[in-house]
Structure 1
Amino acid sequence: MIKISLRHFLVIALIFLTAGRTTVIAQSPTSTLITRDPAKATIYTNDIKNFWIAFDSLTAGYKNNPFDDFYIKKGSNGVLHFMDHNRIVNADTLLATVVNRKQDYLKIRDNSLKINEVEKQCRVSYYALKYLYPKAVFPPLYFVIGRFNTGGVSLPTEQIIGAEMNEPGNIPYLVAHELIHANQKIPYKYKILLEQCIIEGSADFLGELISGKIPSTAPYIYAKGREAVLMKEFIRDMNLGENDDFDYWLYSGPRKDDRPADMGYYIGYAITKAYYDKAIDKSKAIADILNIQDCKDFLNKSGYLRQ
């Protein structure tokens, strides 16, 4: 994996320390403002507080559905979009999940309330991306609590993190990954294996560059010493068609032997790293990676297949 240079760290720290005091709530909870200024980017956590108000009201015997009154009706765009995409669904569905999994929610309560403690670390990645890619944009970031079915999602107008699915210590790295997705301009065609691996793997690569770590390291640990074998298997499975089979490579599909899920993230990372390492102009390489228009062409230019 790559490491951030000392020069990058010093520049990032200097920018961050001279930027002035930032706040967790930079905009209103329903704002869809996308900014180019890291200091003004929304990082909104009040939905977590509202969730626990609703949770405690339920425990206290509140007669109506407290998740409707105290969480959803008062919710940010993050909460609303978690409903739109069948994650929360509606107040009754959320209530049923909380009742059935009350102990699971209690286990994550303390960690969810610590989200504010990592806000500054998340914002450092914003400054790092701004430094490395001046055209970067920063959508509002919302932390919500759902039904244990989504860890994070990047939409065109906002990023949403499911606090119940993530340890606070790992959140800055997940946020960095999702921030890269928000800045990618890679044309999306469903079910093309090469394209999807590059989309996810390049988000890991650049996310690591701006934050220092990858949110899920299991595929990378497994890949050590197996790089050549994995490359051959991927080339075999990479049909470059319109309806590729994601099995064994993406989104927790079937696994071969003892390998972890989502090995395609590693493949996309390796292709991206090969391209970046070859580039003389690293700033241009970062811009190229964020604006890939032809993934097959990018693969060929990376030199990955000739390693």
Structure 2
Amino acid sequence: MELPMRAFLAAACGAMCSAAFAATPEIHTGDVDRFYALYDATGGRPSVEQLDAYLAGGSQRLQEFARARRVTGERIAAQIASNPGMYEHARECLRVLPAVERRLQAALDTLSDLYPDAAYPPVAIVVGRGRPVGIADPSGATIGLEALCAADFLHPDPEDRFVHVIAHEYVHTLQALARDEPEPGDPRATVLRMSLLEGAAEFVAELVSGSVSNIHHAEWTRGRELEIETAFQAAMHGSDLGPWLYNYRPGPDEPYDLGYWVGYRVAKAYYLQAEDKRAAVARIIDLDDPDAFLRDSGWFPGMRLDDARAR
């Protein structure tokens, strides 16, 4: 798997897009239906040419997903050949989507209460090359069915995993920081900025859906808060994201994406000390100055979050 949950298209769609958004989450699965019709018709071995036609004839979100993440018929065919079980297993996750949609509606109702400016673009479920799990921009979110279904390293229960990851991606569609997102390697893509982008989405998603996407961060960091966050503070204005973000690799159970966790704690510290919780959620979503937000949060390395409550 590649980075959990991070890749954003650059374009913002503005008011004209939001006017067409629904109050109820819309999960579109037409591209999945097309993929599995082809998969079954070819005995699980579609050709590169057939897979290229699946991509070319797909929804706009699938085509944007393919362009943004270099998804091609050749790469899907190679993934099917090397890991056919991934595509068979992904069918199981289709069965949880009705329950996911119901739970997301409740989560987004809560988000709308906290952040009245929220408008919800559709989520497209597609089939790709095994990664990434998802991408988002202000016009919507796209989830790779086979990638998220296989991502039990985030959350063991598939229904919970889809709810919390899609909630995270919905927050990305609203965030100011996601509207002009520098690519990794750009000097503007500092550890602090990218960690706040991801951590703020984790915090708001937890607030409305009941959990963060990656439940392992709590166990990995318990008792190491000061050590990890002191190292983060030293690195936060640099652009070497490797030690902090998008660094999941299959294999040993090593901590990864600790920048998500630090950014989450900064956002939570800000929220807990705020008297007006709705205004705090708006600031967390709308933040566009990472250094100012960090200062205003009151965060410091190793802080106990109940310290923020007491302020």
Task: Give, in whole Å, the separation in 2 of the partners of 1:63 and 1:44.
Answer: 25
- Partner in structure 1 of residue 123 of structure 2: 141
Unaligned runs of 5+ in 2: 1-15, 150-157, 183-187, 304-311
Over residues 190-229 of structure 1, what are the superposed CA-to-partner deviations in whole Å (9 max), with x where a residue is unaligned? Answer: 4211111111001000010110011112222212222122
2:257 partner amino acid: D
1:275/1:301 contact within 8 Å kept: yes
Residue 144 of structure 2 aligns with which residue? 162
- Whether the 8 Å CA contact 1:97–1:147 is kept in 2: the answer is yes
- Asked if 2 retains the 8 angstrom alpha-carbon contact of 1:274 and 1:304, the reply is yes
Q: Which runs of 5+ in 1 are unaligned?
A: 1-31
**Which residue number in structure 2 is paired with residue 233 of structure 1?**
231
Sequence identity (%)? 29
1:173 matched to 2:164? The reply is yes
Matched, 1:296 2:288: no
Shift, 1:46, TM fit: 1.9
Q: Deviations over 1:117-162 (max 9, x none)?
A: 4221122222221111000121111001111111011023120011
Q: When the two structures are superposed, what TM-score results if normalisation uses the length of structure 2?
A: 0.78
Listed as ranges, the matches of 1:62-73 within 5 Å are: 65-69=49-53, 71-73=54-56
Runs (4 or more) in structure 1 with deviation over 6 Å come to 60-64
Mapped partners of 2:272, 2:102: distance in 1: 30
Tell me how far apart the structure 1 counterparts of residues 136 and 243 of structure 2 sit (CA, whole Å). 24
Structure-2 change in CA distance of 1:54 and 1:138 (3 Å): same
AA paired with 1:298? F
| CA pair 214-227 structure 1, distance change in 2 beyond 3 A | same
Contact 1:87–1:149 (Cα < 8 Å) also in 2: no
Partner of 2:63: 80
Cross-structure match for 1:17: none
Count of aligned residue pairs for this structure pair: 268
Structure with greater Cα Rg: 1
Which position in structure 1 is the counterpart of 2:255?
260
AA matched with 2:262: I
Inter-partner Cα distance in structure 2 for 1:60 and 1:234: 45
- Larger RCO, structure (CA 8 Å, separation 6 or more): 2
Alignment RMSD (CA, Å): 2.6
Of 186, 193, 198, which aligns to 1:200? 198
Which residue of 1 is the match for residue 175 of structure 2?
184
Name the CA distance, whole Å, in 2 between partners of 1:303 and 1:116: 41
